[in-house]
Structures are given as C-alpha cells and as structure tokens.
C-alpha cells in the first residue's frame, strides 16, 4: 500500500485525515506526521556508518596501501583495516536483521522497503511521475508520508537486496579463514557452490561495493534534493521521526 498524500487522495485508510486536508498536493491540515519509529532510525544510522566503514576498508583491502618502512612486526596497518572491515560487517549484519525484524512488529512505514506492490498499475504510474519530477519535467511534487514510489523501489533494490547480497558473500569469504567447521561456513558456504573459485566471489563482492557506492551517492542526492524542492522534510525525518509538510 502506498503512503501518499497526493492528488487526488491517499490510498491508505489511516492517512484519510491527511488526504482530506490536502489541497493541490499540499498537506495543510496536519503539517507534521510521525513516520519513522526509533528502532528504524537507529538501524538506519548504524547501517549507514557501517556501510561507509565497509566501503572504505573494502577498497583498501582490494587496493592495499603502499609498503611502509620498518619491521613487519611494527606495522599492522592492513591487519587493523581488515579487523575494522570484519567488525563493521558483523555490526551491519546484526542491525540488518534487527531492521528486518522491526518490519514485522513496527508500523506500516517500516515495511515499505522490504516489498514492492509491483502488481499495481498505480504504483508504476507513480514511479513514472516521480521520474518526471526528478528529471525536472514536473513543476509540483506529489506529497508522500513515507517513501515515494521511486525511493521505495530504490531502497528495496539498493538496501534490501544489495546489502543482503553483500552480507552473504562477505560472510562466505570470511568462512575461508574461520574454517569449514565455523558457523559462517555452515550458513554461507553454499556460495562456493555457485562460484567454486573463491576469487570469483571476491570479484563479485568487490563489484557489489561499487554498486553500493553508486547507491549511496544517489540516495544522499535524492534526500537533499527532496528536502529542498518538495516542501517536505526528509533528512530531519530520519532524526526526529517526523515528516513535516512546509506549506
């Protein structure tokens, strides 16, 4: 179901009060709506910092730093980088699972990024409307309480699918060092049935990192753009949990 305050009306029953006061796409009756619960916001920021740490350390693991002077025993730079990568990966896995759990027990906004109503024609029409808006072909934005349809599709792909893929392949690679008796190998060793050559797993994991870099860039740009141009709060909503409609 879409969480929209838009022309002509919202489609969810609990948004009827907002939709009743929406005039031309402007929510004027209830300018502030509580959207993102505390666990969603905590998971968002922990996952965000973990992903950034993983991208930086992952790049350095794939492209190691130049050799440093002195005895090897006095220089453990790559060891610290690998430790930071492994630690951030485990933190990401824990909070990703927590975020999935909260999708079942939280409000309907917490479930948006884990499924797409692809069977609804309206959903695809709304995505096309958002593409036109981001391409500067629309003069007025539609107002959404939760994620707009294009952002929802982007988060489903860039976060739900890609992060799950990176966690799975990452733990599979980690299992090479922890051994076949480790829980990592028991849970994720099947990855090597798909790519028997572990270097292939390294390559696809590394390519996934660059896909995440592209997603993060687009995600930050879209959030800042919407905050400025759509007359509704986006960035601050992930701090306070409240979506504000400015006029």
Average pLDDT, the chain: 86
Predicted pLDDT at 78: 87
Residue 232: phi and psi, rounded to 5, are -140, 145
Domain that holds residue 102: 42-230
Residue with token string 């489609």? 11
Residue 17 within a domain: no
2 closest CA partner among 176, 124, 105: 124
Q: By three-state DSSP, how is residue 144 classified?
A: strand
Task: Indicate the range of 15-24, 122-131, 152-161, 226-235 predicted with least confidence.
Answer: 15-24
Residue 4 in any domain: the answer is no
pLDDT digits (tens, 9 = 90+) for 13-70: 344 444 333 333 444 445 788 999 999 999 999 999 999 999 999 999 988 878 777 7
Instruction: Evaluate whether residue 13 is within a structural domain.
Output: no
Cα separation, 131 vs 167, whole angstroms: 30
> Residue 240 domain-assigned?
no
DSSP conformation letters of 108-130 = GGGGGGG---TT-HHHHHHHHHH
Chain segment 90-131, per-residue pLDDT in tens: 999 999 999 999 999 999 999 999 999 999 999 999 999 999
pTM score of the predicted model? 0.83
Residue position matching structure tokens 């692809």: 118
**pLDDT band for position 247 (cuts 50, 70, 90):** low
Q: Is 25 among the domain residues? A: no
**The token pair that represents 10 in the structure block:** 């919202």
Beta strands in the chain (DSSP E): 4-5, 22-23, 26-27, 32-34, 143-144, 242-244
Number of domains in the chain: 1
Would 24 be classed as within a structural domain?
Answer: no
pLDDT of residue 30: 53
73 has a pLDDT exceeding 80: no
Residue 126 near residue 8 (C-beta atoms within 8 A): no
pLDDT at position 125 is: 93
DSSP-derived secondary structure letter, 157: I
For residue 112, the domain's CATH number is 1.20.950.20
28 occurs within a structural domain = no
């Amino acid at each position: 179901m879409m969480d929209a305050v838009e022309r002509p009306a919202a489609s969810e029953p609990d948004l009827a009060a907002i939709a009743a006061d929406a005039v031309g796409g402007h929510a004027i009756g209830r300018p502030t709506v509580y959207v993102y619960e505390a666990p969603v916001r905590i998971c968002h920021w922990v996952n965000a910092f973990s992903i950034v740490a993983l991208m930086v350390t992952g790049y350095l693991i794939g492209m190691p730093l130049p050799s440093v002077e002195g005895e090897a025993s006095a220089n453990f730079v790559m060891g610290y980088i690998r430790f930071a990568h492994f630690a951030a990966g485990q933190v990401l896995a824990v909070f990703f699972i927590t975020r999935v759990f909260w999708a079942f027990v939280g409000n309907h906004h917490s479930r948006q990024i884990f499924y797409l109503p692809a069977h609804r024609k309206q959903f695809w029409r709304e995505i096309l409307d958002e593409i036109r808006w981001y391409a500067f072909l629309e003069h007025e934005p539609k107002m959404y309480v939760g994620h707009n349809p294009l952002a929802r599709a982007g988060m489903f792909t860039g976060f739900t699918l890609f992060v799950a893929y990176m966690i799975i392949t990452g733990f599979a690679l980690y299992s090479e060092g922890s051994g076949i008796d480790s829980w990592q190998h028991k849970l994720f060793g099947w990855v090597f049935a798909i790519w028997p050559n572990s270097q292939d797993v390294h390559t696809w994991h590394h390519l996934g990192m660059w896909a995440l870099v592209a997603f993060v860039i687009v995600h930050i740009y879209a959030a800042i753009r919407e905050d400025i141009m759509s007359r509704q709060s986006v960035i601050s909503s992930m701090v306070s949990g409240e979506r504000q409609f400015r006029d």
